[in-house]
Amino acid sequence: MKAIWRIRELSTLAILAFEIAFFAWYLWPGEGRPHPFLNAANALLVLKYSSIYGIAAIGAAIVIICGGIDLAPGAIIALSGVVAGGLFVDGHWGLGSSAVAGLTVAAACGLLSAALIVLAGLPPFIATLGVMGIARGVAFIITEGRYFDVSSALPADWRVAGIPLDWTSPILMVGLAAAFQILMTRFQWGRAIFAIGGNPVAALFSGVSVGVVRASVYLVSATLAGVSGVALTIVQGQGKADLAMGYELDIIASAVVGGASLSGGRGSVVGAVLGTLIFGVLRNALPQVPGATFYDRLIVGLVVIAIVVMDQLLQRRKGANA
């Protein structure tokens, strides 16, 4: 059995707990006044916006564990949101079928990445960079600069299966994270992904269908970005082509902070989701710190480097002890 302190996700969780404790202390408002950071409404806000990153980060972690990289999620989030929103608002489709259409378009983007990487043999960085451009481009062509006002088309006080709107995407994130964590650790598919990330040649010689598994990974990543895009459109109430600009890098950073190694073979889905929460808390709390307005990007960058360097040092010490 794995010793409990060896579980990598726990250190990510510890960083998150430390971060929350730090801001709870730093932003302490004094006697009698409500805490601006540590309250239920703010926690839900953090969860709501982090879940957009979090759902896509599940896919990013899987791609990175498989030894690849996916730059397309940000653009796919926008495209699937625009497709779902457009069909719902302009096309008067049902919400369910609009959402399914958004996911289908996202999955098609994933298949395109997979085909470019597996069949045409392009490096994942280049293939997904291209798909990123295509997806973002198609989103702009569809909207022609407009945005689809989903919120006014939705019935007031609309709920999914009795759950308040704000809660849907966090719940979706937790459910998907749990499902993919189990797929990655308890199923052959996940084991094959770890094997390919660790040594693709050995995986091929061990009888792993390397091409099929690699293709599936990009398909899953794009589809999860689609889920995230549809959720974002409903949460923000609008479908826009310039949504989620630059999210791909935040998503990759979250996966890495959560323990994924860009050289492949290491990482976890739950870690990546915790990573997005670390950034979610930062993005939420930093604007409340007086004078930090212009420093927040800088601080986020420093935090990424600090966490990854710390992890590397711990890994090296573990290696030296072994």
Interface with other proteins by CB under 8 A: which range of 132-140, 141-149, 191-199, 284-292? 191-199
Instruction: Say if CB 258 and CB 62 are below 8 A apart.
Output: no
The verdict on 295 binding other proteins (CB under 8 A) reads: no
The verdict on 121 binding other proteins (CB under 8 A) reads: no
Amino acid at 285: A
Instruction: Say if CB 282 and CB 288 are below 8 A apart.
Output: no
Judged by CB under 8 A, which of 205, 309, 312, 314 binds other proteins? 205
Interface with other proteins by CB under 8 A: which range of 54-62, 99-107, 189-197, 287-295? 189-197
Spatial separation of the C-alpha atoms in residues 292 and 302, rounded to whole Å: 14
Amino acid at 180: F
The verdict on 159 binding other proteins (CB under 8 A) reads: no
The verdict on 198 binding other proteins (CB under 8 A) reads: yes
- Closest approach of other proteins to the CB of residue 198, in Å: 4
The verdict on 317 binding other proteins (CB under 8 A) reads: no
Spatial separation of the C-alpha atoms in residues 286 and 163, rounded to whole Å: 30
Nearer of residues 114 and 210 to other proteins, judged by Cβ: 210
Interface with other proteins by CB under 8 A: which range of 11-19, 146-154, 180-188, 238-246? 180-188
**Ramachandran quadrant class, 272 (left: phi over 0; alpha: psi -120 to 50; beta: rest):** alpha
Instruction: Say if CB 282 and CB 300 are below 8 A apart.
Output: yes
Site string for other proteins, 241-270 (x = CB under 8 A): ------------------------xx----
The verdict on 146 binding other proteins (CB under 8 A) reads: no
Nearer of residues 297 and 317 to other proteins, judged by Cβ: 317
How many Cα atoms sit within 13 Å of 78 on the Cβ side? 27
The verdict on 208 binding other proteins (CB under 8 A) reads: yes
> Residue 72: enclosing H or E segment and its boundaries?
none
Give the CA distances from residue 199 to residues 61, 189, 251, 305, in Å, rounded to whole numbers and listed in that order: 17, 15, 24, 26
Site string for other proteins, 51-90 (x = CB under 8 A): ----------------------------------------
The verdict on 184 binding other proteins (CB under 8 A) reads: no
Judged by CB under 8 A, which of 35, 186, 297, 317 binds other proteins? 186
The verdict on 192 binding other proteins (CB under 8 A) reads: yes
Q: Report DSSP letters for 79-130, one per residue.
A: HHHHHHHHHHHTS---HHHHHHHHHHHHHHHHHHHHIIIIIS---HHHHHHH
- Closest approach of other proteins to the CB of residue 11, in Å: 18
The verdict on 116 binding other proteins (CB under 8 A) reads: no
- The rounded Cα 188 to chain-centroid distance in angstroms is 23
- Closest approach of other proteins to the CB of residue 320, in Å: 7
Q: Which two tokens stand for residue 145?
A: 């600069």
Q: Which two tokens stand for residue 195?
A: 């094997």
Cα–Cα nearest to 138, from 76, 217, 197: 76
Q: Is 148 helix (H, G, I), strand (E, B) or coil?
A: strand
The verdict on 312 binding other proteins (CB under 8 A) reads: no
Spatial separation of the C-alpha atoms in residues 34 and 147, rounded to whole Å: 37
The verdict on 178 binding other proteins (CB under 8 A) reads: no
Nearer of residues 39 and 209 to other proteins, judged by Cβ: 209
Cα–Cα nearest to 277, from 28, 47, 9: 47
The verdict on 91 binding other proteins (CB under 8 A) reads: no
Residues that bind other proteins (CB under 8 A): 186-189, 191-192, 194-195, 197-199, 201-209, 265-266, 319-320, 322
